[in-house]
Amino acid sequence: MSQPTCPACTLDDVLSHSDHWECATCGHEWPKEAAPVAARIVKDAHGTPLADGDTVVLIKDLKLRGGSGVLKGGTKAKGIRLVDGDHEIDCRIDGSAMALKACFVKKSE
């Protein structure tokens, strides 16, 4: 279980006890079952929130790792899937599975 941030002061200096969390900064205590889980919001290069199933467009040419190929700017990826990790977007481009960083795409209508 990852350590949460304090719901009262939003700092991450939290102490773990057997049945509850305690903020070392403000002293707020709350039970472990009710630890807040923040929803992850992934935003594109222009700050627009992305969701599963969206269509995105590359904003610049991207070199493919391990080869001499290039993904051209303006290439669309339909039906994206948001994942945890360094590359936030899983998609298929021209039939190949790709992992993209959200900072290199913009949401398409």
Q: Into how many domains does the chain fold?
A: 2
- Tell which wins on pLDDT, 38 or 87: 87
pLDDT digits (tens, 9 = 90+) for 11-53: 889 999 888 889 999 999 988 875 456 678 899 999 999 999 9
Q: Which domain holds residue 4?
A: 1-38
Contact 12, 36 (CB under 8 A): no
Contact 15, 22 (CB under 8 A): yes
- Whether residue 26 is contained in a domain is answered as yes
Please indicate, yes or no, whether the overall pTM of this predicted structure exceeds 0.85: no
CATH number at residue 30: 2.20.25
pLDDT digits (tens, 9 = 90+) for 59-71: 999 998 887 889 9
Query: Number of C-alpha atoms within 13 angstroms, CB side, residue 63?
Result: 4
pLDDT of residue 39: 74
CATH number at residue 86: 2.30.30.40
Instruction: Give Cα separations from 16 to 3, 30, 49, 95 (angstroms).
Output: 8, 10, 33, 46
